[in-house]
Amino acid sequence: MKITRLDHLVLTVADLEATVDFYTRALGMTVRAFGGGRLALRFGDQKINLHEAGHEFEPKARVPRPGSGDLCFVVEEPLAAWEEHLAELGVPLVAGPVPRDGALGPMTSIYVRDPDGNLVELASYTG
């Protein structure tokens, strides 16, 4: 018995439109509707399903709430390019670049917050 990969995760959000705007514009994800109008953010081979606070789908987390996430995304572009891109969009850095230990070893990360205050880490294994 073993798990092979993460397929998706769920974020509970206060404002679907603001969340979709941030993740598509700032992070380059795409949005797709599925299953009766539900929304998901797609990137690579994964997705983030979005639940609007107060209108979550069952089953759900025991205490779903906006702003309780701490996510790490691996990026291909240099972090300096991400810093420039985010600055152009008015997205402030919370921290970084800083060294971190990722699932595959040492990496360098920068941090921002999404509209709900979730911590979003952008990490590079090449520095």
The structural domain count of the chain equals 1
Which CATH number is 19's domain given? Answer: 3.10.180.10
Residue 29 is assigned to a structural domain of this protein: yes
pLDDT in tens, 23-50: 999 999 999 999 888 999 999 999 999 9
DSSP 101-114: EETTEEEEEEEEE-
Does residue 127 have a pLDDT over 70?
no
* pTM: predicted TM-score of the whole model, two decimal places: 0.94
Q: Which tokens go with 4? A: 């092979």
Q: Mark whether 76 is an active-site residue.
A: no
Per DSSP (E only), the strands in the chain are 8-13, 30-34, 38-43, 46-52, 70-74, 95-102, 105-113, 119-124
pLDDT tens, position by position, 68-88: 999 999 999 999 999 999 999
Domain assignment of residue 115, given as a range: 8-124
